[in-house]
Amino acid sequence: MLGCQEHDLEDSVEEWFARVHPEDRERLEMALTVHLQGQTEHFEHEHRMLHQNGTYRWVLSRGLAVRDSAGNVTRMAGSQTDITERKVADGLTGLPNRILFMDRLDCALDRAKRHKNAMFAVLFLDLDRFKVINDSLGHDVGDQLLIALARRLETSLRSSDTVARLAGRPTMARLGGDEFTVLLDDIHNVSDATCVAERLQQQLAAPFTIAGHEVFTTASMGIALSATGYERPEDILRDAETAMYRAKNRGKACHEVFDTAMYDRAVALLQVEIDLRRAVERQEFLVFYQPVVQAIYAGRFGRVCGTCAERDRARSQQLKTRNY
């Protein structure tokens, strides 16, 4: 299951725990401890384990503590099942889901750290006005559109000219809703990523026929490059999403390449919103009400407003009285 031969593994509990993904190990140990203490009848846990090829596989471990006559645990008896396909596939489109995409993005980031010349890019796609389709034609049509869109984009990424331009195999995933991501591994420069984005836009230009309806859709795309120097996969995905929102603000159906100014603007906007909320809570605003007056001065050129007219008539009467 993990691609290992007998001589690759030591016969110890430590060897088993060493192959558990660092993010899953604490939860696994806690679940196991609870069972060994007799608080649960059976042990069951899902976690990732390191394959011999350097990737992680999702496994389901089920077991039962075997005890001696004194009640002491002597061993665990159970089974382990590979559930990777179930865990990493999107249920609607069959594409890799967020879990698998982040795992592959993490691997790409590690390669980029080891090899200075290695470069990759992340494309973040979000459909424009997808809510309108759901609201007008129904969620079933919306789901069918997502499936058809996934197949069309997959075909585009597998095309001969795309493969020739990219040294690595692209990975497309659905993060959820109408959000898709593409990992372009082992690219040469930013133009490789922008060319793929333009090709995907061209593929979306043709209408989709869904349940007898002709549906047109476009997507806003953000691109983030590994050359920026990321430490975590979550950071590069965040910046690709930030660039996507920039593309939406530009008018949709286009792509934007992330730069640090976008992040600075996003952080500044968030800080302003936080400061405004706190200012309201602390009653730091002073509200001044300034009346809006429609003052029309006409004098000898025409009519005046009601208030001014009464005032002018009173003054005229005073002048007449003084003159007489």
Instruction: Answer for the pair 149, 172: CB distance below 8 angstroms, yes or no.
Output: no
pLDDT at 304: 47
Mean pLDDT of the chain: 86
pLDDT at 215: 94
> CA 41, 44, 45: angle at the middle one, nearest 5?
150
| Mean per-residue pLDDT, 221-231 | 89
Q: Does the residue 106 lie in any domain?
A: yes
pLDDT at 265: 80
pLDDT at 164: 54
Verify that 18 and 122 share a domain, yes or no.
no
Verify that 211 and 118 share a domain, yes or no.
yes
Confidence of residue 323 (pLDDT cuts 50, 70, 90): very low
**% of the chain exceeding 70 in pLDDT:** 88
Three-class secondary structure of residue 21 per DSSP: coil
Q: Which of 125, 259, 281, 140 is nearest to 196 (CA)?
A: 125
Verify that 148 and 254 share a domain, yes or no.
yes
Q: Going by C-beta distance under 8 Å and a sequence separation of 6 or more, which residues neighbour residue 165? A: 192, 195, 196
Verify that 51 and 131 share a domain, yes or no.
no
Q: Does the residue 173 lie in any domain?
A: yes
Q: Does the residue 283 lie in any domain?
A: no
Q: How far apart are CA 301 and CA 324, in angstroms?
A: 26
Verify that 78 and 98 share a domain, yes or no.
no
Three-class secondary structure of residue 222 per DSSP: strand
For residue range 115-134, what is the model confidence (pLDDT) as tens digits? Answer: 888 899 999 999 999 999 99
Residue with tokens 């558990």: 20
Q: Does the residue 48 lie in any domain?
A: yes
Q: Which of 222, 225, 214 is nearest to 242 (CA)?
A: 222
Q: How far apart are CA 175 and CA 236, in angstroms?
A: 15
Q: Does the residue 18 lie in any domain?
A: yes
pLDDT at 163: 53
State phi, psi for 73 to the nearest 5 degrees.
-75, 125
Q: Out of 69, 87, 105, pick the residue that ends a domain.
A: 87
CATH number of the CATH domain containing 244:
3.30.70.270
| Counted domains in the chain | 3
Residue 14: is it exposed, middle or buried by C-beta count within 10 angstroms (0-12/13-18/19+)?
A: exposed
Verify that 202 and 300 share a domain, yes or no.
no
pLDDT at 324: 43
Verify that 101 and 249 share a domain, yes or no.
yes
Verify that 100 and 248 share a domain, yes or no.
yes
Helices within the chain (DSSP H only): 13-18, 22-36, 84-88, 98-114, 130-137, 139-158, 160-165, 190-205, 233-250, 260-281, 306-323
Q: Out of 210, 242, 260, pick the residue that ends a domain.
A: 260
Q: Does the residue 267 lie in any domain?
A: no
Q: Does the residue 140 lie in any domain?
A: yes
| Mean per-residue pLDDT, 168-189 | 90
Verify that 122 and 229 share a domain, yes or no.
yes
Q: Which two tokens stand for residue 152?
A: 């069309």
Q: In sequence order, what are the beta bridge partners of 279?
A: none
Q: What is the extent of the structural domain holding 57?
A: 6-87
For residue range 155-174, what is the model confidence (pLDDT) as tens digits? Answer: 888 765 555 556 667 889 99
Q: Which two tokens stand for residue 205?
A: 């230009």
The yes-or-no verdict on residue 57 having pLDDT over 50 is yes
CATH number of the CATH domain containing 17:
3.30.450.20
Verify that 36 and 167 share a domain, yes or no.
no
| Mean per-residue pLDDT, 193-203 | 93
| Mean per-residue pLDDT, 145-149 | 95
**Prediction pTM value:** 0.66
Verify that 109 and 211 share a domain, yes or no.
yes
Verify that 60 and 171 share a domain, yes or no.
no
The yes-or-no verdict on residue 38 having pLDDT over 80 is yes
Helices (H) and strands (E) in the chain, counts: 11, 10
Q: Does the residue 270 lie in any domain?
A: no
pLDDT at 150: 94
Lowest mean pLDDT segment, chosen from 68-72, 75-79, 261-265: 261-265
Q: Out of 31, 60, 87, pick the residue that ends a domain.
A: 87
178 part of the active site: yes
Annotated catalytic residue within 178, 185, 192, 239: 178
Instruction: Answer for the pair 187, 166: CB distance below 8 angstroms, yes or no.
Output: yes
